[in-house]
Structures are given as C-alpha cells and as structure tokens.
C-alpha cells in the first residue's frame, strides 16, 4: 500500500495503471475511518482492479464556527485499517487550495461548483456553502485521481445525489456508486463524529434510527401522510433530548418535500445530540410499489429497502 501526497504523482500513478489495463476505483474520505468506509472499499473491489482511498479533511465544506478544528483525525490508524483490505494507494495530499499563505481563507481560490437546486434543501438550509465545498473538492479529486468509478456512502444521502448530478451535468467520466448505510449493532448510523458523543448522548441518539424504522413500519402498515410520519420521528428524537435540524420525507432524486408517500422517497434526518450533528436516512416506498428504484436501473437487486446499490 502506497501513500501518495503530490497531485502529479497521483495522476501519474493512475495513468500508468490505466495504460496497463487496470480499472481504478476511488473512495473519497475525510479520514478517521470506520466500518462504513471499509464497506465502501470492499464494494470498490467489486467494480475495479485497483483501489485508491483519499484521506483529506476538506476545509472548504466547513463554515466558520463549524467543527473543522475538532474534526477527528487518526492517519496512522487509518492506514492500519486500510492495509488488510489491499488498498493500493492512500492519497493524503497537502492543502489542495491556492490559499493566501498567510491566512486560512480561500483568497487564492475562486472557482466553485454549484449544484444549484440539490444544494439548497436539507443540510443546505443550515450549511449554505457545504455542498459547494463538497462538489468542488470531489471535482478536484476526480481531476487529480482520474478514477473509473467512485464509491459514496448513502449515509450522506444529499451528498451522494449532489455528486451524481454534478457528474452527469459536467460529463465526468466516472461511474458513481452509492452504498448502503453501515450501522452499529444497535442501529446507530456509523460516522466519524460518533466518537464525540457522550455515553448518554450515544444511547439517546438511537432514537434516530429507531424512529426511522418505526416510520418504515408505519408506511408498510399503510400510513402515507408525510407530515404524520415526520411528526413521529421528530417527537421521538426530541423526547430523547435531541435537537432536530430536519426530519423530512423528500423525493429521492430532487430532494423536494412530498406530502404523501406515493412514490419512492427518502426520509432524511439531521439531529444534534450535545454538540454532535448526526445524519441518518431511510429510503421508503409505498406498499403498492415493488421494491425497486425507478430513478435508475438496478442490475443487482438489493436485499432490502434502503440498502440497494443504485448504478448511475
């Protein structure tokens, strides 16, 4: 396993591999890797012969006052976790923005990619520059690494949709694959931020995944009123001491709110326990629809709702 830090060395590596007939998969991460990331690596190996994982905390997606400085980091631990999975390259670049060297700002960088509709709802409400930062760094990494396929976790559902849209609209030659949420045994969606939960908050945060499952059951039993389902989740999390940023049932592709669950939607939640902001979501379909995703073709049927792999 090779660690590459220079942009040109990274691109040279990919080009040499491609010339030799290899197919390259790429997984962008901000490090502090957990089982969720490792599941993306395993998925990557199904789609390619070589795997590149980037570890880079993208400052451009943090607004002032957000948790950039406290975002957990453990590069040596990351390498230990990746090694047994036969990852070929860990790309751990120096700063990727042309900054005024004397400051932390982006004075030397002025090009930003906006996915204008998908960046606005859900997380975009509270974090107006977040998806601008995500789209821009992913485009940069695609241009540096030049992968054939890239793997994203659907825990960050809106991010996955933003990237798919960007790739389609800007004609990137990269296949985008979304992977199911990896969960702890008790149901909590895996996240690098989970380590910052207190023991009590850790327990209370289970209200998120538990209430999402309850909503799923309610839909199966015939409830299709989105407001009723959202109220169920909102109350469960609030009662457990969480603060809900949003709990919305939205169209899977446009992320626009729906009134009734009459076509495939996703129930997306962001909630805070203590100072830790957690995301979770569940794809839902009304009982009348067969369990498939009409937005995209689905070559391999997924084992259960919200856990399918959708090909772009």
Query: Dihedral through CA 269, CA 272, CA 273, CA 278, nearest 10?
Result: 50
Residues 305 and 49: their CA atoms lie apart, in Å, by: 29
Using CB under 8 A, which of 170, 195, 228, 289 touches a second copy?
A: 170
Nearer to a second copy, 123 or 269 (CB): 123
Closest listed residue to residue 64, CA positions, set 156, 157, 133, 111:
133
Using CB under 8 A, which of 58, 59, 61, 136 touches a second copy?
A: 136
Residue 33 as a binder of a second copy (CB under 8 A): the answer is no
At its nearest, how many Å lie between a second copy and the CB of residue 129?
12
Place of tokens 């040596």: 76
Query: Which of the stretches 29-37, 169-177, 190-198, 264-272 binds a second copy when contact is defined by CB under 8 A?
Result: 169-177
Q: Return all residues near 146 (Cβ < 8 A) that are at least 6 apart.
A: 11, 14, 15, 18, 24
> Do residues 112 and 132 lie in contact, with contact meaning Cβ atoms separated by under 8 Å?
yes
Using CB under 8 A, which of 64, 69, 95, 110 touches a second copy?
A: 110
CB atoms within 10 A of CB 220: 13
Using CB under 8 A, which of 25, 40, 96, 244 touches a second copy?
A: 96
Q: How far apart are the first and last CA of the chain?
A: 29
Residue 19 as a binder of a second copy (CB under 8 A): the answer is yes
Residue 217 as a binder of a second copy (CB under 8 A): the answer is no
Using CB under 8 A, which of 45, 73, 114, 210 touches a second copy?
A: 114
Residue 165 as a binder of a second copy (CB under 8 A): the answer is yes
Residue 16 as a binder of a second copy (CB under 8 A): the answer is no
Residue 111 as a binder of a second copy (CB under 8 A): the answer is yes
Give the side-chain half-sphere CA count within 13 A for 308. Answer: 22
Using CB under 8 A, which of 171, 222, 300, 303 touches a second copy?
A: 171
Question: Mapping DSSP to helix (H, G, I), strand (E, B) and coil, where does residue 257 land?
Answer: strand
Q: Is 146 left (phi over 0), alpha (psi -120 to 50) or beta?
A: left
# binding residues, a second copy (CB under 8 A): 30
Using CB under 8 A, which of 4, 24, 113, 215 touches a second copy?
A: 113
Residue 144 as a binder of a second copy (CB under 8 A): the answer is yes
Give catalytic residue positions. 37
> Do residues 40 and 17 lie in contact, with contact meaning Cβ atoms separated by under 8 Å?
no
Residues 152 and 29: their CA atoms lie apart, in Å, by: 9
Residue 69 as a binder of a second copy (CB under 8 A): the answer is no
Binding residues for a second copy (CB under 8 A) = 7, 11, 19, 96, 98, 109-118, 135-136, 139-140, 143-144, 146, 165-166, 168-173
């Amino acid at each position: 396993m090779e660690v590459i830090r220079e942009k040109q060395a990274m691109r040279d590596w990919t080009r040499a591999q491609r010339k030799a007939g290899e197919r390259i998969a790429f997984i962008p991460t901000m490090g502090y890797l957990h089982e969720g990331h490792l599941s993306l690596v395993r998925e990557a190996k199904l789609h390619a012969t070589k795997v590149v994982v980037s570890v880079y905390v993208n400052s451009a997606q943090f607004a002032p006052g957000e948790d950039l400085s406290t975002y957990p980091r453990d590069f040596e631990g990351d390498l230990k976790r990746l090694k047994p999975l036969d990852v070929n390259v860990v790309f751990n670049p120096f700063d990727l923005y042309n900054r005024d060297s004397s400051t932390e700002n982006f004075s030397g960088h002025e090009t930003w990619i906006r996915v204008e509709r998908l960046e606005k709802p859900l997380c975009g409400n509270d974090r107006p520059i977040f998806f601008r930062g995500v789209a821009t760094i992913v485009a940069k990494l695609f241009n540096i690494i030049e992968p054939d396929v890239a793997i994203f976790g659907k825990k960050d559902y809106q991010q996955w949709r933003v990237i798919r849209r960007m790739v389609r609209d800007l004609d990137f030659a990269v296949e985008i694959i979304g992977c199911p949420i990896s969960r702890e045994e008790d149901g909590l969606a895996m996240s690098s931020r989970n380590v910052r939960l207190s023991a009590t908050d850790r327990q209370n945060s289970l209200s998120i995944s538990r209430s999402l499952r309850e909503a799923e059951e309610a839909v199966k039993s015939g409830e299709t009123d989105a407001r009723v389902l959202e109220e169920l989740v909102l109350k469960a999390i609030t009662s457990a001491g969480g603060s809900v940023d949003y709990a919305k049932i939205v169209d899977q592709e446009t992320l626009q709110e729906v009134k009734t669950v009459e076509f495939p939607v996703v129930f997306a939640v962001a909630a805070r326990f203590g100072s830790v902001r957690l995301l979770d979501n569940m794809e839902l379909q009304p009982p009348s629809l067969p369990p498939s995703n009409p937005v995209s073709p689905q070559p391999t049927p997924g084992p259960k709702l919200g856990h399918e792999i959708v090909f772009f």
